[in-house]
Amino acid sequence: MFENRLFGTNGIRGLANVELTPEFALKVAAAIGTFFEAGKIVVGCDGRTSSPMLKSAVISRLTSTGCRVYDAGMVPTPALQYAVRAYGMDGGVMITASHNPPEYNGVKVMASDGVELPRELEMEVERIFFEDGFRRAEWSSVGDVLKLPGVLETYAEAVMKHVDRDAISSARPKVVVDAGNGVSALVYPSILGRLGCRVVAINSNVDGRFPGRPPEPRPENLTALSSAVKFEGADLGVAYDGDGDRAIFSDERGVIHWGDRSFALVEKAFLSENPGEVVVTPVSSSKVVEDVASEYGGKVLWTKVGSVTVSRTMLRVGAKLGGEENGGVFYGPHQPVRDGAMTTALILEILAKEGRRLSEMLEELPKYCQLKDKVPCPEELKQPVLEELRRRVSGARVETLDGVKVWFDDGSWILVRPSGTEPIYRLYAEASTEERVAQVVEEFKQILSEIISSVKS
């Protein structure tokens, strides 16, 4: 691991104190600090057991390169990203492994616009890392370490100003919030309370062992949320991932919905008020995103999979809205990054203004059956397999923006792409019936396995 690359799809990730040791964090911070050339850097961390250990190492080595460090403490990732811009920083570093299991940790690096570094700048940091050409400041210009209090409050105010607080507080919705023992517990429930919701918080103590549930808000991990919504008679349930950038919703019946459906609701409301706008989403998202866009006069811009690509594309084309199937909504007027609290506030505003149930509103959206699967594939075979796959596929429409996406005449589709972080191929498919989606996935699993064994020999 980390032999010639540091960054995966979302920053640097590894097993805490095994791969991501303090020594390794020192070296990563040496490269980051050299890259930022004695700039002002805000540093924050999530609530993982290894986060203070890694944060200390990162801060130490950043100041050694001459950077001035502002310590934001324990904060959700979107709050750290907001602070980078709000306080005029040159960059930001967040110690987090997002939704990964408790034994992991990671490092995300933000540019001065609060968005993670684009790939070409990540490569610059990697080049510095592997060349060992680190800055070391003179004794007189070693950086300071200053506390940066108030990051959570600045962030909370920013989120709240983008929604109609009067509408939400008049509706007084009852909301069950499941922070999953993650760092969002520090501020998201209080934001919802201040917006006028009646809040019931579960798993709301920050605990790096994640005793309540795994940090990834997948439907199978959210049975406690679902039960609590029913038991409390709540209007809405929401669960966040470990660092609070993704939000997954439960309707009032306790049914958990995937992120591209809640995103489609936000998209519908947004396009109703801003017709003609561009909406950015990765090729793995449901066709519902396109259906809503064509009905409400918007245009979808499809990107490669990865939140940084969505953010960077939004900035490049001036788009105000982006979204992912995993529960990431990017609301440009606030900040063009995934933001769990902003997403929740937008959904609450929609419910309040419409005065209807979440289940009803989701029911009105075009419905598709989705299926995800994976096929093991050794790292070194990924590229030749992809080339062979591209040669073989046929369909009504084939797209090769990221992996291979095949559209069929009946409107169903499958996306087959090599994972950026694991030795597997990921398959995402969508069709109008369960049978059809299963059939498409089965067919492509077979094609893929055939290609893998033929390329091997």
Query: Under 8 Å CB-to-CB from 435, ≥6 apart: which residues?
Result: none
Which residue number, 328 or 332, has a Cβ lying nearer to Mg ion?
Answer: 328
Q: Give the contact letters, 185-224, x = binds to Mg ion (CB under 5 A), - = no.
A: ----------------------------------------
Q: Give the contact letters, 279-298, x = binds to Mg ion (CB under 5 A), - = no.
A: --------------------
324 binds Mg ion (CB under 5 A): no
Which residue number, 126 or 339, has a Cβ lying nearer to Mg ion?
Answer: 339
CB of 338 to Mg ion, least distance (A): 7
Q: List binders of Mg ion among 231-270 (CB under 5 A).
A: 241, 243, 245
CA distance 98 to 210: 12
Which residue number, 183 or 389, has a Cβ lying nearer to Mg ion?
Answer: 183
Whether residue 62 contacts residue 28, with contact meaning beta carbons closer than 8 Å, is answered with no
CA-nearest of 429, 218, 181 to 326 is 218
Query: Under 8 Å CB-to-CB from 146, ≥6 apart: which residues?
Result: 68, 69, 70, 71
Buried-state track 36-48, b at ≥16 Cβ within 10 A, e below 16: bebbbbbbbbbbb
Which residue number, 122 or 324, has a Cβ lying nearer to Mg ion?
Answer: 324
CB of 112 to Mg ion, least distance (A): 21
147: left (phi over 0), alpha (psi -120 to 50) or beta: beta
Query: Helix, strand or coil for residue 226?
Result: helix
Q: List binders of Mg ion among 67-106 (CB under 5 A).
A: 98
Strand 145-147 versus strand 104-110 pairing type: unpaired
Q: Residue 179 is encoded by which pair of tokens?
A: 């922070």
Whether residue 420 contacts residue 382, with contact meaning beta carbons closer than 8 Å, is answered with no
User: How many residues belong to the site for Mg ion (CB under 5 A)?
Assistant: 4
Q: Residue 248 is encoded by which pair of tokens?
A: 């997954």
Residue least distant from Mg ion (Cβ): 98
Which residues have a catalytic role annotated?
98
Which residue number, 33 or 212, has a Cβ lying nearer to Mg ion?
Answer: 212
CA distance 165 to 342: 13
CB of 150 to Mg ion, least distance (A): 23
CA-nearest of 247, 200, 205 to 222 is 247
Strand 321-323 versus strand 329-331 pairing type: antiparallel
Which residue number, 98 or 284, has a Cβ lying nearer to Mg ion?
Answer: 98
- Sign, CA dihedral 61-63-68-73, equals positive
In the complex, the residues that contact Mg ion under the rule CB under 5 A are 98, 241, 243, 245
